[in-house]
Amino acid sequence: MTYPQPKKSSTGLIIGVMVATATVLCGGILVLGALVSNRDGQSTTSSGDFNEGTDEADQPRSAKLNQSARDGKFEFTVTRVQCGIAQVGGDYLNERAQGQFCKVFVTVKNIGDEARTFSASNQYAYNAAGARYDADGAAAFYLGEDSNAFLEGINPGNSVKGILLFDIPKNAKIVRLELHDSPFSGGVMVSV
């Protein structure tokens, strides 16, 4: 007596193809990100004209308050840092700091040839010991129009003024900022 052969399941093959496809797509995204970073991620500091032909290694990667610093297609100028703020917002809609809020007043100019959006999520602050703080985009909402400038596209040649907000410990002090054109750019350090 012969028994019918059990049918082979193709589920394993389908899962294997899906995993391989996802792996290839993720690898492609990483390669694309690296290419974009290399193309747009030039970091320079300048108070004059930007020289596209200059070797990035010859350019300083840092600036001070009220000095222009370039990363990719943005030129940053940090004008002031104000800390010791316990709460932002009004009487009814507000956000309390876990430690203290620090407002970083910055001008961002688009030096590229197409509109770009500045994102607070790509910006960082550091204390003297090297601890890194992320910008608090959710709390910055309570600053009103002062922070909304960073939610709109910046056309070529235009600049916007706004405030980055950081929630840092009460006894901490921001000594430098790391500002980026995009998540993949090299960034520029601004001493404050």
Task: Give residue-wise pLDDT tens across range 13-43.
Answer: 555 445 445 444 444 444 344 333 334 444 4
CATH number at residue 136: 2.60.40.1240
Task: Give the C-alpha separation, 30 to 35, whole Å.
Answer: 9
97 residue type, one letter: A
Residue at 40 is within a domain: no
Residue at 46 is within a domain: no
Q: Per residue in 122-173, pLDDT tens?
A: 999 999 999 999 999 888 888 887 676 677 789 999 999 999 999 999 999 9
By residue range, what is the domain housing residue 77? 59-191
Number of C-alpha atoms within 13 angstroms, CB side, residue 54? Answer: 14
pTM value?
0.69
Number of domains in the chain: 1
Tokens in use for 122?
């790509």
Residue at 43 is within a domain: no
Tokens in use for 169?
């410990």
